[in-house]
Structures are given as C-alpha cells and as structure tokens.
Amino acid sequence: MAEGSARPTLEYGDPVAVELTQAIHAGDLQRLERMLHERAELAVVRMVGRHGVEGGWRTPLHAATDWPGYFPAGPATVTLLLAAGADPDDDTGGNRPETPLHWAASSDDVDVAVVLIDGGAGLEIPGGSIGTPLDNAVGYGCWHVARLLVERGARVDKLWHAAALGMLARLEELLAAAQPTADDLNGAFWQACHGGQLRAADRLLAAGADVNASPDYAGKRTALDQVLTPDTRHGLLAGWLRDHGGESATRE
C-alpha cells in the first residue's frame, strides 16, 4: 500500500480493494468490520485506477454511495465506515471531484444521505457533476435528498432551486432580487415542471417563461417531455421491478 496525497492508496483491481468493495456492496457488515479491524487504514483508503475516473479515486464511502445506490445495509455500512475514521468530505479528485454526499444526492438515497450529514458531510461543497449536493439532487430529480439538504441548511440561492422545490416565497425573493434573464426564467420554469410544482410553473409563466423552452442540458426535452419522464427514484425502482420480473398490466 502506497501513500498518495497523505492517504493510503490501493489499485482498484487489487484483491483487497475488490474484497472491500464487495463487502460494502453486499452489506456484509461482519466481513467489513473484520477487514477494518485487521487494517484500520482501509477506512480512508483511496482506490485508484478504475476506468472512467479521470485521474481520481474512490473511497469506501464512495463505494457505499456508488450508482445506483440502495445497497443492502447501506446506512449501517456508512455508519460503520464513519466510526472507523472515514472522511465524509473526501472527494474523488481528478477533473470532477465529488464527495459521497454528491453521489447519494445523485441517486436519491436519502437514508444514506442522512447518515452522511449526521456524520459531518459538508452541504455546500462544489465540484459535483452539476455543482453542490443540492445542485446534483435537484438537477437529477432526487427530491427526497433535495428536501433533506434544505431542511439541514443547504442554501437555496438559485431561481431553479426554488422553482423545482416549490418554495414560492423564496421564488418571489429571488425574482425580486435581480432581473432574471430569459434563460433564467426558462430554466426555472423547466425545473418547476421537472419537480411537479404547478404553482411555481404558473408564476414563472406569468413572469415571461417560454412554455416550450428547452434548456441546453435538457437534450431538447421540453417541460412537458420532462413531466412525462420518471424522476430518478421512480426510474430506478422501475428498473428494479423489471429485473425481478415485474410486468405492466397496461402494456400493449
């Protein structure tokens, strides 16, 4: 095991890293506890060299919050890792550093997010695939974690945040604080529809938003297209049901 950035490192394919990740993903708390007892440094190890992680790494907490989340015993696994000394704010390095809370926010794994926040995870850390954990949560339609973050003190300082979460009073404050551009209004309107917030959408339409605008990040999907698309949690659950043989009674 080598030292890197004052943290121990393992190649992602190292047998110890593989076993550690397997224990975390399986929710095998006994095996994980044994490994941490035998090698305490594994709680903070950075696993490097995984394809697609550009010059960065993943920690055990990242393994516990990796896509698609919802691993067996996920909250208990995160609790065990934090108690063993894992840093909730250690990021992935590389070109797009993200903390474990960024990842939990991106899958709407609210139970794990609660444990991370209780363990001291920072709410305003930038650098995620969209920005802060709240940016990620709202941007990916992860409404349970988004509301948790706001309850715990995350700042709602963007028009699209307030719109997507239906925070009408905050929406009015942000509209009054600065003259929003057409892009600001259109993006907030799209996000209000994304979040199922009819009153916020109606307010933004009255303020001049284009009902058929499509933000650059939306892949040409209009607000109506997005309303008809399942949010992250429902999309993941639909996939899980299909994987377990679930069928739709209404399919043709």
CA–CA dist 43, 79 (Å, integer): 11
- CATH code: domain 156-241 is 1.25.40.20
Q: Is the dihedral of CA 48, 20, 59, 25 positive or negative?
A: positive
Backbone Cα Rg of the chain: 20
* Domain coordinates in residue numbering, the chain: 156-241
CA–CA dist 143, 196 (Å, integer): 10
Q: What is the pLDDT along the chain (252 residues), one digit of tens a residue?
A: 434 456 899 998 999 999 999 999 999 999 999 999 999 999 999 999 875 555 689 999 999 999 999 999 999 999 999 999 999 999 998 878 999 999 999 999 999 999 999 999 999 999 888 999 999 999 999 999 999 999 999 999 999 999 999 999 999 999 999 899 999 999 999 999 999 999 999 999 999 999 999 999 898 999 999 999 999 999 999 999 999 999 999 864
CA–CA dist 249, 115 (Å, integer): 38
Q: How far is CA 203 from the centre of its chain?
A: 28
pTM: 0.93
Q: Are 77 and 59 in contact (CB under 8 A)?
A: no
